[in-house]
């Protein structure tokens, strides 16, 4: 028996981000991984989500499994690899809260459990009734996980669901970074909604203009191009718009983009896709997502910093 239907499935990496805050010698380790961050953010906002990914049988793998359960994220699709460890990413942060990737706890980026998500071990019944499949692009670097991504796309489309693709350009995850752009572009063709940072949009599509991207990719229902504190430009339901960034006291920018995706998807699930056809409503949905992202930066940790619905509502009320 599969259990309750979740409108959103997030597939990809769940991992540990290890920081040295402000250059200190003491390491701080916090849970992360873009698809897992989205799943946790959705659950905190009140939208049910299922996570599919792989961790080790190590202490971190056990802790991340408990975290998903504690946050009411479905973990029936979580695999535990018998030998590969849970991925640990080394992250440097400056005093403004900006992050930079510094490496992994293993020399081989393919040596971690999330690189070995086994397609045959995913229950297709997890997709029954699902509306959205959230994917990043890091898993494309690894053949086994890439196969699982492509199969998951078939399963969500069998349910008349939609792919939400959040581009993550991290060359360090790839043994051959030159391979990335072709695989990512192929994945874009399968998406209904595309979210990228302005840097990633320029790298992948040679433009940061969401209207131009939508014209290049006419199958897309929506394009969201984020620029950190500068805000977000979008093209949704035939409407182009822009939401300015919110002025907040930033502690840690890790996971802000993932929180944005969670906020947007929560709005999609709550209001329905048809609401994107209304220009004002589409703007409100992106503004809500931007508020979720901004609030996440005010606390440490991609998941720990994510806000509750009450916090988002109060934040937006005070800025009307």
pLDDT of residue 288: 98
Residue 37 near residue 302, CB atoms below 8 Å: yes
Instruction: Please report where in the chains the tokens 């950190």 appear, as a residue.
Output: 228
- Which residue, among 38, 44, 35, has the nearest Cα to 12 in the 3D structure? 35
Q: Write down the H helix ranges in the chain.
A: 34-45, 59-70, 143-158, 180-188, 198-205, 210-216, 256-271, 279-296, 309-317
Residue with tokens 């690189």: 115
The pLDDT-based confidence of 111 (bands split at 50, 70, 90) is: very high
Report how far apart, in Å, the C-alpha atoms of 200 and of each of 18, 207, 250, 273 are: 24, 9, 22, 25
Fold classification of 8-14+32-86+110-317 is 3.40.1190
The pLDDT of residue 2: 46
Rounded to an integer, what distance in angstroms lies between the CA atom of residue 42 and that of residue 40? Answer: 5
pLDDT given for residue 233 in this prediction:
98
Which residues does residue 158 pair with via DSSP β-bridges, in sequence order?
none
3-state secondary structure of 118: coil
Alpha-carbon distance 224 to 210, whole Å?
7
Strand partners, 50: 9, 74
Share of the chain above pLDDT 90, in %: 88
Round to the nearest angstrom and report the end-to-end CA distance of the chain. 46
Residue 291 neighbours by CB distance under 10 Å? 24
Write the pLDDT tens digit of every residue in 53-105: 999 999 999 999 999 999 999 999 999 999 999 999 998 777 665 667 888 99
Residue spans of the domains in the chain: they are: 8-14+32-86+110-317
């Amino acid at each position: 028996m599969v259990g309750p239907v979740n409108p959103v499935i997030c597939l990809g990496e769940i991992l540990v981000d290890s920081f040295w805050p402000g250059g200190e010698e003491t390491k701080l380790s916090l849970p992360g991984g873009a698809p897992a961050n989205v799943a946790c953010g959705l659950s905190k906002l009140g939208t049910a989500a299922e996570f599919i990914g792989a961790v080790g049988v190590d202490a971190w793998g056990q802790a991340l499994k408990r975290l998903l359960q504690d946050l009411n994220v479905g973990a029936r699709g979580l695999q535990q690899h018998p030998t590969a460890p849970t991925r640990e990413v080394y992250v440097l942060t400056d005093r403004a809260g900006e992050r930079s990737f510094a490496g992994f706890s293993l020399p081989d980026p393919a040596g971690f459990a999330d690189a070995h998500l086994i397609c045959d071990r995913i229950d297709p019944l997890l997709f029954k009734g699902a509306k959205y499949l959230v994917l990043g692009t890091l898993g494309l670097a690894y053949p086994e996980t890439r196969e699982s991504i492509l199969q998951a796309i078939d399963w969500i489309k069998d349910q008349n669901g939609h792919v939400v693709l959040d581009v993550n350009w991290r060359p360090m995850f790839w043994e051959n970074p030159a391979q990335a752009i072709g695989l990512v572009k192929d994945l874009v063709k399968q998406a209904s909604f595309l979210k990228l940072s302005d840097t990633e949009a320029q790298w992948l599509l040679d433009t940061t203009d969401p209207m131009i991207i939508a014209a290049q990719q006419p199958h897309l229902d929506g394009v969201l191009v984020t620029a950190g504190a500068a805000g977000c430009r979008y093209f949704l339901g035939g409407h182009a718009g822009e939401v300015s960034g919110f002025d907040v006291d930033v502690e840690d920018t890790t996971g802000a983009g993932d929180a944005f995706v969670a906020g947007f998807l929560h709005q999609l699930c709550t209001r329905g896709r048809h609401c994107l056809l209304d220009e004002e409503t589409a703007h409100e949905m992106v503004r809500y997502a931007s508020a979720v992202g901004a609030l996440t930066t005010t606390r440490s940790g991609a998941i720990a910093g994510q806000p509750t619905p009450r916090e988002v509502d109060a934040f937006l009320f005070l800025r009307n």
